[in-house]
Amino acid sequence: MRQELPKDIREKLPMAKKVLEQLVFGKFNIPFDIKTEYSQYNDSWSISIWVDIDVDRYCDFTTKHDVDYENHINNLDRRVENTLGYVDLRGVYGGLLFDYINDDETDQIYYNLQQKLYAELENKFNARRHEVDSIYYYLYKSGDEVVYFRTEFVGDDVVVEDEQTGEMLTLVSCDDLYTTMLDVYNNSGITFDVENFICH
């Protein structure tokens, strides 16, 4: 049977949206939406706040970076929870959920980083492009609670066949690949933490 949103929550939602706009999201023109969800397990309702995060505005290595916006986003969960207390909805607050928008410049920076990696692998190991296509940097973005980015190193050692003997030779080992990716990354200006998934 479909559960109906309790009247006391339903009636408070318009005011909740208004105060959230005024006190939390309006200053930085941050798009958001309030979603309600029923849990059969707990037999209770909760509200979550969907927020659009401007990636280029948040990242400190882009030309569009806004440090005030970044700091505001980093404290968003606390601000939202406190604000919902003004309309007596703090007890049903379920947390933040994120969509990520406006990432063209960040994507271009990671694309350029990838090209530098390919060039370095060719320069150091004579690795051809088709041999390293599965090696890349991946920008991970968190889905809820707090905005968090990290750069993941993805790929396997590069093994090629000797054209004369047919023997399989390791062109780039896992350790060499990690060292090379890290060197290129450390010179990129990108400040996110690194997670290593090479040869995993």
H-helix or E-strand spanning residue 175: helix 174-186
Q: CA-to-CA distance for 129 and 138, rounded, in angstroms?
A: 18
Report pLDDT for 40: 87
In terms of C-beta distances under 8 Å and separation of at least 24 residues, what long-range contacts does 14-22 make, across chains too? 15/87, 16/47, 16/84, 16/87, 16/89, 19/83, 19/86, 19/87, 20/49, 20/80, 20/83, 20/84
Residues of the chain with pLDDT under 70: 1-2
The residue type of 179 is: T
Report pLDDT for 42: 85
Q: CA-to-CA distance for 34 and 133, rounded, in angstroms?
A: 41
Reduced to 3 states (helix: H, G, I; strand: E, B; else coil), residue 58 is helix
Q: Give the strands of the sheet with 149-155, arranged side by side.
A: 136-141, 149-155, 193-198
Q: CA-to-CA distance for 74 and 183, rounded, in angstroms?
A: 29
Beta bridge partners of 137: 153
Joined together, the tokens standing for residue 120 give 């370095």
Report pLDDT for 143: 95
Report pLDDT for 45: 94
Q: Are strands 93-101 and 158-161 parallel, antiparallel or unpaired?
A: unpaired
179: how many CB neighbours lie within 10 A of its CB? Answer: 12
- pLDDT for 125-145, tens place per residue? 999 999 999 999 999 999 998
Query: Domains along the chain?
Result: 7-101 (3.30.70), 104-198 (3.30.300)
**In this structure, are residues 101 and 54 in contact, taking their beta carbons and an 8 Å threshold?**
yes
Report pLDDT for 72: 97
pTM for the model = 0.90
- pLDDT for 76-114, tens place per residue? 999 999 999 999 999 999 999 999 999 999 999 999 999
